[in-house]
Chain A
Amino acid sequence: MTKVRRFMEAGLERTFLACALLSIASVALMTVFIFRQGLPLFAKVSLPDFLLSTDWFPSRDPNPGYGILSFIVGSVFVTVMSLAISVPVGISTGIFLAEMAGRRFGPFLRAAVELLAGIPSVIYGLFGIAVIVPLVRMIPGGNGYSALSSSIVLAIMVLPTIINMTEVSVRSVPNELREGSLALGATRWQTISGVLVPAARSGIVTGVVLGMGRALGETMAVLLVGGNAPIMPAGPLSMVRTLTMNVITDMAYAEGTHLTALFATAIVLFVFILALNVFIQVALKRAVKESTR
């Protein structure tokens, strides 16, 4: 091997390494930039005033309000409601795919789930406006643009994440467990509910948390169906504004402290998402440990 060639090989290896570091560098840069833009807010507004006040009125001339409690509550409320729908349905479908689907129906359902994951959020928003909002207006009442409509749309959107994680983790439960349970005389369902699901617990929880992250971070679909009123949601039929909606709504024209407050809102969202990520990493590590035990 000539020297030139060896030099080239080493150079390329460095390039590969640099590319591999791109993701982590992006995350780091993202953190730095968002925090640098958002943190100056706290020179003007105290942290409790920001996080624990429901008074959001940046355009009020003397003493504008920068409280985002309503949006934090809105985000959490909508996410929890959407999980209440998607977790039972998603886990069941995942179990179905892993254990009960036949050779014909299984691939068909799997393709459907994949497609569901690929539909853009703006299409979910369009569907939400055209079908779910009128439906909510008609059946439970209210004007339709509500936390409930947002939750239903989000529930459909996070379904594929939960289904996939459940299927993968139930499938990866060692066969001996399955066979052992059946050999002891347990029925198929007893095996699933008593052995497989508990064994796959960590993976399923990871799926739910991933779905939670997706629901928290979703913007367009909820923006179209949530009503976007900057108020504390009073119930499922009340209009709602989430953290993401708050960031995107005013971004076009906000300036000064208002703009800083939007970035500070993004920090809150970012921290939520990072916390969920840490949780997932820990849960996955536990899952690996469990499966190797």
Chain B
Amino acid sequence: MKRKIRAGERVSVGFVWLSAAFTIATLFLILGYILWNGFFYSNNVEYSVTSDATRELDGTLVIVNPRNPIRELPFDALRGLYSDEFSSWKKPAGFDADSYPYVDDATSPRLAGLLGLEAQGELVEFPGDAAAAAESVAGNDGGIAIVDAKAFGALDPALIERVRVVPTRSVALGVNPSVVEIRDNRRIGTVHETAIGDLYAGKISNWKELDGSDLPVTVIVPPPGSALRSLADRAGFDHDRANGHANQSGSLKFIEPATMDEYYLSLAGTRGAVGLVEASRANGIDIAPVKLSRRETGRNLTLSFLLEAPKDSGKIGGISTIILNTFAMILLTLIFSIPPGLFAAIYLVEYAREGRLVRLIRLGTETLAGIPSIIFGLFGMLVFVQGLGWGISLLSGSLTVTLMILPTIVRTAEEALKAVPGSLQEGSLALGATKVQTVFRVVLPAAFPAIASGVILAIGRALGETAALIYTMGSNYNLTGGLFDSTRTLAVHVYLIIAEGISSDRAFASGAVLVFFILAINGTARFVINRMGRMARG
């Protein structure tokens, strides 16, 4: 009997412990997840080229203006810039400038072949020799030029300083068109980049293994001494081992042509063939490119994200103006809510006698505190936006949030005022001060820290508000121009970025900033309360 009780008790106590642990774990999971993803991104990306970047592209160099943040140019992006597919740098580099593609005289005859284009775009300009092309790029934020490598190397070093060479990623995984045909409802899709190494190491003998159709693999090995061969070697090609694998499996074959021309011919002519190729050769007709995927990681929330203004509905740029807008909203809300909240508390504590009126006021405060924010939003829309004609604006939104946080301020201020010892007031009154003087000179200063911590917590609520603001304060992400301007705050920004499906990285970065503010506010409130405790004791 006793043992039975003990066991039941143990289970119950265990559940209580578990619940407490669960609560803490949930908090850390949420905060950790948001902050981690805010600071670092990790995405699966697809390219038609490998991650190998080279400085030279078949005897030419790609140069851009130093202001352009791009670090590597995938072949597709380069081709897009020269074929009018991209007229600005927004997509390839997240850089807000129109693109101006130039090409020097030495390279212009072979531009189409170099990029695998049928016709170059109309935007491409021909300023003259390499010096003229470099000069054009140096003088234009969105400039890019393809110049002859030797001619560029011979330029005046001062001019070279004014442009930047961008490495290109121009090696693709090319296959014989038979590989990408649909057979038995199967067609090879995107493969992970590690498949290149596996193919050259002889680990894959049939395209089935890469979710393609049932077709034996033939690996074409680039001729010795070529740039592609060194990449293949680096990927894991080993002559003896490869032949060993080929002999073992029977269906897998390795072919080693002697020249580049033969290399491309055997790729185009052998069923199931695969090999690394210059991206310009993978035109989809005799050699088809295979899309490669890989995981890219890096810093997400950067200083420039905090300091730059958002552009293009937040697709590029940062959140600086949105942070300032948020501060403006908080400031206005505090100006509107502290005096009435404080006065209400003063009335309740210092003037009112318990009775019907006080009960009614308390009921009002409690009810207001329980009303969902969306109802506040509707009310603000009806009264401030439409009724008073202030439109969707900073003023309407701030007043709406003011009503929301009023109960918090009244309640905490009330508690704070109640906690001031009565002897202080009696002393003041005995010295001949009036009631108002006593309240403002004696009671309020004594209650200040507790009131401050309540106000800080109210700021937290205003900071995170979304539903009440969408139809009262609007979504203009530029720096607010005044009380009657539509203004976007950080929380609304996070919501809109998710809702408009702009980018989860940007949502997390903005969310991390919001969480950081909330943490800072909580920390400040805690600090104020702690100091208060020390002051009361000391």
Contact = CB atoms under 8 A, between A and B. Distances in A.
Contact of A217 (B371, B457, B514): B371
A24 B403 CA distance: 11
B522 interface: yes
Given A16-B346, A217-B374, A163 B23 contact: yes
B370 interface: yes
B344 interface: yes
- Residue from A96, A190, A214 having most chain B Cβ neighbours under 10 A: A96
Interface of A: 1, 5, 8-9, 12-13, 15-27, 29-30, 33-34, 37, 88-90, 92-93, 95-97, 100-101, 108-109, 111-116, 118-127, 129-131, 156, 159, 163, 187, 189-190, 193, 210, 213-214, 216-220, 224, 244, 247-248, 251-252, 263, 266, 269-270, 273-274, 276-277, 280-281
B343 A125 contact: no
A129 B504 CA distance: 10
B367 A92 contact: no
B20 A123 contact: no
Contacts of A121: 464, 466-467
Contacts of B28: 112
B215 interface: no
Majority secondary structure, A binding face: helix
Given A118-B521, A218-B372, 18 more contacts: A1-B434, A15-B343, A19-B339, A20-B347, A20-B348, A20-B361, A24-B368, A34-B378, A89-B23, A96-B17, A122-B464, A122-B466, A130-B37, A217-B373, A220-B495, A244-B467, A248-B467, A269-B374
B20 A101 contact: yes
Given A19-B343, A219-B373, A116 B15 contact: no
Contact of A247 (B37, B352, B378, B379): B378
A277 B366 contact: yes
Interface in B302-346: 339-344, 346
Contacts of B13: 100, 189
Nearest to B511: A126
Interface in B355-414: 360-361, 363-368, 370-379, 381-383, 403, 406-407, 410
Contact of B498 (A119, A190, A224): A224
Nearest to B410: A23
B504 A27 contact: no
Contacts of A247: 374, 378
- Residue from A120, A121, A125 having most chain B Cβ neighbours under 10 A: A120
Contact of B23 (A112, A190, A276): A112
A217 B521 CA distance: 25
Interface in B1-26: 5, 9, 12-13, 15-20, 22-24, 26
B434 A281 contact: no
A93 B19 contact: yes
A114 B223 CA distance: 67
Nearest to A96: B20
Contacts of A159: 23, 26
Given A112-B23, A123-B494, A16 B344 contact: yes
Contacts of A109: 20, 23-24
B368 A26 contact: yes
B347 A16 contact: yes
12 contacts: A9-B435, A23-B407, A93-B16, A93-B19, A111-B522, A122-B466, A127-B34, A156-B26, A163-B23, A189-B13, A220-B467, A274-B367
B374 A219 contact: yes
Contacts of A111: 522, 526
B415 interface: no
A1 B437 CA distance: 13
B152 interface: no
B508 interface: yes
A23 B374 contact: no
Interface of B: 5, 9, 12-13, 15-20, 22-24, 26-31, 33-34, 37, 339-344, 346-348, 350-352, 360-361, 363-368, 370-379, 381-383, 403, 406-407, 410, 434-436, 457, 460-461, 463-467, 470-471, 491, 494-495, 498-499, 504, 507-508, 511, 514-515, 518-519, 521-522, 526
B486 to A, nearest CB: 13
Contacts of B373: 217, 219
Given A27-B367, A34-B375, A217-B371, A120 B514 contact: yes
Contacts of B37: 130
Contact of A248 (B9, B26, B29, B470): B470
A118 to B, nearest CB: 5
A227 to B, nearest CB: 13
Contact of A270 (B375, B406, B470): B375
B498 A129 contact: yes
B210 to A, nearest CB: 24
A256 to B, nearest CB: 15
B379 A34 contact: yes
A120 B34 contact: no
Contacts of B515: 119, 123
Contact of B33 (A13, A89, A131): A131
A19 B374 contact: no
A245 to B, nearest CB: 9
Given A125-B495, A126-B507, A277-B366, A37 B382 contact: yes
A20 B348 CA distance: 7
Contacts of A17: 347, 351
A9 B434 contact: yes
Contact of B9 (A23, A189, A244): A189
A22 B27 CA distance: 36
Contacts of A93: 16, 19-20, 22-23
Given A22-B344, A120-B463, A219 B372 contact: yes
B465 A120 contact: yes
A30 B375 contact: yes
A203 B273 CA distance: 74
Contact of B467 (A30, A101, A114, A219): A219
- Residue from A114, A156, A219, A244 having most chain B Cβ neighbours under 10 A: A219
Given A20-B343, A23-B364, A248-B470, A187 B9 contact: yes
A224 B501 CA distance: 11
A16 B518 contact: no
Contacts of A244: 372, 374, 467
A218 B464 CA distance: 13
Nearest to B345: A20
Nearest to B493: A122
